[in-house]
Chains A and B, each alone.
Chain A
Amino acid sequence: MMEELNTKLTNKSGFHMDPRTKIFILIILSFMVFNDAPLYISGILILIPFTSLFLSNHKKMATSYILLYLIATYLKIYVNPSLTGPSSMISASFTYTITRMLPVIIMGTYTVITTKVSEFVASMEEINVPKYIIIPLSVIFRYLPTIYEEIKSIRNAMRMRGIGLNFKTLKTPLKLVEFYMIPILISAVKTSDELSAASLTRGLSNPQRRTHLEIVNFSKTDAIFIIFAILGVVMYAYYFIGDILLV
C-alpha cells in the first residue's frame, strides 16, 4: 500500500500541460473570434485543443470536436453560398458560431477539466500573481462543476411542475431565464460564504508564501505547444495585416 502511494505521488504519468501554458493558448485562440482565415492558416490553432484533449484521454470529445468543426467548415465553403432566404441565415449563424467560437470553447473546457485547483494556484503563485487575484479565480474553477449539477436539478424541478418548453411558459421567455438564475444565484452566495469560512479556518489567509505538494514547472510539452501557438498566431496575423506591413 505504501509503495503504491509513493508511486502515486511521484509518478505523473502521461500527458501533462502547465496551467500557464493552457491559459496562454486560451488567450491566443480567442483572437480567432475576430476574423476568418482559410483552413491552411488557422489549421495549427484549431489542432491545438484537439491534440491536447486527445493526448489527455478525452478521445471522444476530441474527435467529435474536430468532426463538428470540419462539417461546419464544409458547409461554410460549399453550401452557404448557394443558399438563400431563412435557410442561409440559419446555416450561416451555425457555421460561423462553430468555426469561430468552438476552438476557444473546447480549449476552455480542456483547461477546466484537466487542471487541479491546487495546481492552478501553485503555478499562479510561481509567477507572483497576487493572492487576491488567484483566490477568486480558483474559486471559479471549483464552482463550475457545481453549477452544472445545479442546472440539472433545477431542470428536473421544472419538468415536474410542467414549466419549460411548452406553450404556457414560452409566452414569457424571460421568466424562464429568471427561474434558472435565481436558484443558481442563491446557491452561489451560500456556497461562496461557506467556502470562504471553511478556507479561513484552514489558514488560507496566512501571509507567508504557501508551499505545494505538486511541483509545477514547464516541460518539453509546454515548449512545443507554445511554439506552435505562437507560430499559428503569427501566420494568422500575417494573413490579415501582412499586406499592410509590406506597403
Chain B
Amino acid sequence: MFKIDNLSFSYNTNEKELKNNVENINLKIKKGEVVLLCGESGCGKTTTTRCLNGLIPYFFNGQRTGEAYLNGKKISEMPIYKLAENIGSVFQDPKTQFFNVDTTSEIIFGCENLSMPENELKKRLKTVVDEFKLYNLLDKSIFKISGGEKQKIACASVNAVYPDAFILDEPSSNLDSESSWNLRDILQKWKADGKTVVIAEHKLFFLEDVLDRVIFFKNGKIESEWNIDEFKKINHRKLGLRQLNLNNLKVYHNDYYSKNQEFFELKNFTFKYDKSPILDIKHVQIPKNEIIAIIGKNGAGKSTFAHCLCGLERSCKGELILDNKVLKRKERLKKSYMVMQDVNHQLFAESVIDEVLLSMDDENEELAEDILKNLNLIHLRDVHPMALSGGEKQRVAIASAIASKKEILVFDEPTSGLDLKNMMDVSKNLIYLQKLGITSFIITHDYELILETCTHIIHFDNGLIIDNYKIDEEKLKKFFIK
C-alpha cells in the first residue's frame, strides 16, 4: 500500500543550522495493516504522516530527498485532491480540522469536494450515520459538542469518502478515556474492513488490541520495529513511551504530602446555565496543600467547577473556607489562578521576565529571577513568551502565578498531547508547587499523570461530586480502564 524509500525532509526555517526532521526513512506498509508510529515529541512521526498524506510537499515546504509511494505511484507527483480519494486524514485538534460549523455538512464535505452526485451524497451520509451511530449528532453546531464527539464526526467524515487508508496524527490528545476507547472501536472497525491504518500517537493504552506493528522513531530516524507481541514485552518507560497497558502502573505517592493535614471547605457551589443546574455542591472538604486530581467524563462539570473555584463566574455564590476565613468570589479571584489548556491566552508581556514582573504588586526583579531559576526558565529570561515551546509557556504561566502569591492553582488538562518526558516535567513542577505550600487542582484524563503525582481524587458526574477520596488504585481503575 505505502512504501517510503530513503526519505529525508527538513522544513524551511530561518535558522542557519540545517537539521533534517526525518532522515533516511525506509518503510513498507502492507494493505490492511494497522501501524503505530511512536517516539518522543519532535522525533519525526508527524512529519512521516505528512509525507504519506501529501501535505509534504504540497503544503509544507522544505528540502526533500527520497520518495514516498502509494500503490507504486509517487505521492509527490499526485495532485493532493487525488490523494484525498484514497487517504483519509484525522488530526490532533478537532477544533481546527472542521471546515463547516454544522456537523451534517462536515460529514459530507469530502464527498462534495470530490464532486459526487447528489443522490450519492445522500446515500453515503445515511450509511455513515448508520455505521457510526450519529443520529443524535446530526445538525449540531461543532461548538456545542464535546471533544470526543468532534473526533467521532471527524472519523465519520473521512470515512464517508471510503478511502483505502487512514492516517491519524495524535487523534486522542484531547479525548477523555471513554472517548479514547470509542476511538479504538472505530479503529477496530476499519481494521475489520481491511483498511490500512497509520497512527502517530503518544497515548498508547487504547491501542493494544488494534495494532499489528509498531515503528519507533528517535531523532528523525527509525530506531526499531516490532510486531505487537514483541512490543507488549518491552519496557516502554525506558524508551520514553507512555504505557501500553495501564494495569502495569502503580500509585507513586500513596500518602498525603503534608504531615499535619489541614482541610478547606467548599460551601454552596452551584451554577446554572439556562435554568438547568450544571454544578451543585452543597458542602465538601478538601485537603489543603495537596495535588488533587479532578476526574469525570466530558461535560461532567469539571471546568465549570474550576471557573467557580477561581471566582470567574459571577452567578456562583459559593464560599471557600480557608484557615477559618471565608473567601467570597472576589477574594478567591485574588488567591487562585488557572493554567489554561491553551496557555497562549494568558501570556501578555513582551519577555519572560516582564511576564513575571507584571504579576507582582511591587516589581522585584531579584525575586522574579529566583522564580525563573527554580522553574528552569532563566536562560529564556528575555525571550518573547509566544516564541517558546508549549511546555515552556506552561512554566511561564506557573511562574507568574507564583509571583502573584496565589495559593490555589487549577490546571486544565496540563498533559494533553504530551510525551512521557514532558509529562514527567509537568509532574515535577506540580510537586515543586506543593513544596511552596500551594494547593493544585488538576483537571485531567491522564491516568499516568494521576498515579505519578496526585494524592487526592475528586470525581464529578452530572455536576455532582460523586466521590472524594484519598488516592486509591482500585477505584481509579474502575473509571479509567475498560
Nearest-neighbor residue (CB-CB) of A204 within chain B: B113
B404 near A161: Cβ-Cβ < 8 Å: yes
Contact residues of B between 129 and 154, Cβ < 8 Å to A: 129-130, 135, 138-139, 141, 143
**Binary per-residue interface labels of chain B (54-78) against chain A in the complex, 1 for a CB within 8 Å, 0 otherwise:** 1100110000000000000000000
B105 near A118: Cβ-Cβ < 8 Å: yes
Q: Is A208 an interface residue (CB 8 A)?
A: yes
A residues near B310, Cβ cutoff 8 Å: 160
Nearest-neighbor residue (CB-CB) of B124 within chain A: A213
B residues near A138, Cβ cutoff 8 Å: 99
A182, B32: Cα distance in complex, Å: 46
Which residue of B55, B108, B129 contacts A5 across the interface (Cβ within 8 Å)?
A: B129
A161, B157: Cα distance in complex, Å: 41
Residues of A contacting B: mostly: helix
**Binary per-residue interface labels of chain B (73-110) against chain A in the complex, 1 for a CB within 8 Å, 0 otherwise:** 00000011101110111010101111111101100111
Which residue of B116, B161, B400 contacts A161 across the interface (Cβ within 8 Å)?
A: B400
Nearest-neighbor residue (CB-CB) of B400 within chain A: A161
B333 near A205: Cβ-Cβ < 8 Å: no
A197 near B59: Cβ-Cβ < 8 Å: yes
A146 near B95: Cβ-Cβ < 8 Å: yes
Q: Is A35 an interface residue (CB 8 A)?
A: no
Number of interface residues of B (CB under 8 A): 71
Q: Is A150 an interface residue (CB 8 A)?
A: yes
A210 near B112: Cβ-Cβ < 8 Å: yes
B53 near A201: Cβ-Cβ < 8 Å: yes
B residues near A186, Cβ cutoff 8 Å: 344, 386
Number of interface residues of A (CB under 8 A): 57
A187, B55: Cα distance in complex, Å: 21
A117, B99: Cα distance in complex, Å: 8
A141 near B101: Cβ-Cβ < 8 Å: yes
Q: Is B239 an interface residue (CB 8 A)?
A: no
If A4-B135, A162-B334 touch, does A202 touch B113 (CB 8 Å cutoff)?
A: yes
B residues near A182, Cβ cutoff 8 Å: 348, 386
Nearest-neighbor residue (CB-CB) of B406 within chain A: A160
A178, B354: Cα distance in complex, Å: 15
Q: Is B328 an interface residue (CB 8 A)?
A: no
B400 near A213: Cβ-Cβ < 8 Å: no
Contact residues of A between 134 and 180, Cβ < 8 Å to B: 138, 141-142, 145-146, 149-150, 153-154, 156-163, 178-179
A residues near B347, Cβ cutoff 8 Å: 183
8 pairs of A and B residues whose beta carbons are closest in the complex: A203-B84, A118-B105, A157-B346, A203-B113, A206-B81, A194-B96, A198-B97, A201-B89
Between-chain CB contacts (< 8 Å), 6 pairs: A119-B105, A142-B101, A146-B143, A200-B84, A201-B84, A202-B158
